[in-house]
Amino acid sequence: MGRLVMKFGGTSVADIARIRNVARHVAREVNAGHEVAVVVSAMAGTTDRLVGWTREAAALHDAREYDAVVASGEQVTAGLTAIVLQEMGIPARSWQGWQVPLETDGMHGAARIMRINPVGIIERFAQGQVAVMAGFQGISTDGRITTLGRGGSDTSAVALAAALNARCDIYTDVDGVYTTDPRIVAKAQKIARISYEEMLEMASLGAKVLQTRSVELAMVYRVPLQVRSSFEAPDSPNQNTSDGGGPGTLVCDEEDIVEQQVVTGIAYSRDEGKVTVVRVPDRPGVSAAIFGPLADRGISVDMIVQNVSEDGLTDVTFTVPQKDLDRALKAIDESKDMIGYERIRSSQDVAKISVIGVGMRSHAGVAADMFKALAEKSINIQAITTSEIKVSVLIDAAYTELAVRTLHTTYDLDGE
């Protein structure tokens, strides 16, 4: 029957009744003959509360202690899930990240997985035991608890699946990946199959349904990944996945997708900050003077626009993650003499809207359709970036929902 990793997010384990429901999903797969490892998130709201406490304790705090605090949410659900499984007569035990062990680098708060060696879990599979691993957490090479960044349990699950040579099912509060966030567009449709590349773009451009890093790992290790709902009745016949097919969305190779739309999905992100450096001299070396100091501080720049110069001076606009905006402004301020600009402007009231689809490689005009549709709604475009399979625009955040809905209709993605 093979091995299976089943990951359950925060809303799916929000209370004991929901954990019982999770255990019934697990029981179904165990009864179908799978060796099962379960990966759980913290109960809904828990991680936010823990993060809040660390901030209240001290605005600037030790990142290692932040991780010690926020990793605790998953420890609780792993133990509770094992207790509920045992009570149902299914042998199970919990595994903390350090017990597996899931080893990471030392980037506290956003650690990357370096190695995972689940020999203990495999040994116990042979005895018929279900493993319940706490998601989101690991251990650094110097023995401290680390966390993988918000949404990181998805990545824990995919990494474990890769190490176990297993399939990975991500159970969440929606029944699959949609053409856009179903919370803001009621007409969004479930996608039956999406390629790793498209899912990677969707995730990194704002679709929170999977953590970006989890898709990267699934793509590199070719882990079959399925997104599905934990709220559907665990015992109904169409929940059985022994044949490898299933009721959710399959993230897979492009070659395994028969029907391909030009645009597969639309993502949005309100996590951008915009900076405009006003009246900089238009001469060689000026971009290096602006972006060098940002790179030195590890701030990644996304969109860049440089205006046509008038009288030898020009404006340069770029975006950075909102959390880095203050640091970016400080870096530019500190380099004022070297850059030689007049002033800086910044804004957080911007949103990035992206259309994504591998069909764009062979189909011209996607960007033009996008610009036209936004212009018809009088939505001004402040910056643009493109890649082979996506076009992103920066707009005023107030128009986020209107823009997403408009584009959803433009590319014929609306369902009933």
Can you give the binding site for Mg ion, defined by CB under 5 A? Answer: 9, 151
Residue with smaller CB distance to Mg ion, 7 or 124: 7
Do the beta carbons of residue 101 and residue 117 sit within 8 Å? yes
Residue with smaller CB distance to ligand ASP, 7 or 405: 7
Residue with smaller CB distance to ligand ADP, 161 or 339: 161
Min separation Cβ 71 and ligand ADP, Å:
16
3-state secondary structure of 275: strand
Q: Which of 114, 125, 116, 126 is nearest to 38 (CA)?
A: 125
Cα atoms in the Cβ-side hemisphere of radius 13 Å centred on 78: 24
Residue with smaller CB distance to ligand ASP, 41 or 314: 41
Residue with smaller CB distance to ligand ADP, 48 or 396: 48
Q: Which residues bind ligand ADP (CB under 6 A)?
A: 9-12, 41, 151, 172-174, 177-178, 180-183, 207-209, 265
Min separation Cβ 159 and ligand ADP, Å:
16
- Which option in ligand ASP, Mg ion, ligand ADP, none does residue 178 bind, with CB closer than 5 to 8 A by kind? ligand ADP
- Which option in ligand ADP, Mg ion, ligand ASP, none does residue 183 bind, with CB closer than 5 to 8 A by kind? ligand ADP
- Which option in ligand ADP, Mg ion, ligand ASP, none does residue 11 bind, with CB closer than 5 to 8 A by kind? ligand ADP
Listed in sequence order, the residues at least 6 apart from 373 whose beta carbon sits closer than 8 Å to its beta carbon are: 406, 407, 410
- Which option in ligand ASP, ligand ADP, Mg ion, none does residue 152 bind, with CB closer than 5 to 8 A by kind? ligand ASP
Min separation Cβ 185 and ligand ASP, Å:
24
- Which option in ligand ADP, Mg ion, ligand ASP, none does residue 181 bind, with CB closer than 5 to 8 A by kind? ligand ADP
Rounded CA separation 158/246 (Å) = 18
Q: What angle do CA 327, 331, 337 make, to 5 degrees?
A: 160
Q: Where are the alpha helices (DSSP H) in 335-385?
A: 336-339, 366-376
Min separation Cβ 279 and ligand ASP, Å:
42
Residue with smaller CB distance to ligand ADP, 129 or 249: 249
Neighbouring C-beta atoms of residue 284, cutoff 10 Å: 6
Q: Which residues bind ligand ASP (CB under 6 A)?
A: 9-10, 41-42, 47, 73, 135-136, 150-154
Rounded CA separation 74/10 (Å) = 9
Min separation Cβ 44 and ligand ASP, Å:
9
Do the beta carbons of residue 155 and residue 214 sit within 8 Å? yes
For residues 34-69, one letter each, b for 16 or more C-beta atoms within 10 angstroms of the residue's C-beta and e for the rest, the string is bbbbbbbbbbbebbeebbeebeeeeeeeebeebbbb
Residue with smaller CB distance to ligand ASP, 138 or 357: 138
Residue with smaller CB distance to ligand ADP, 118 or 265: 265
Cβ-proximal residue to ligand ADP, closest one: 9
Listed in sequence order, the residues at least 6 apart from 125 whose beta carbon sits closer than 8 Å to its beta carbon are: 3, 35, 131
Identify residue 58 by its one-letter amino acid code.
A
Min separation Cβ 113 and ligand ADP, Å:
18
Whether the link from the prior residue into 234 is cis, omega within 30° of 0, is no
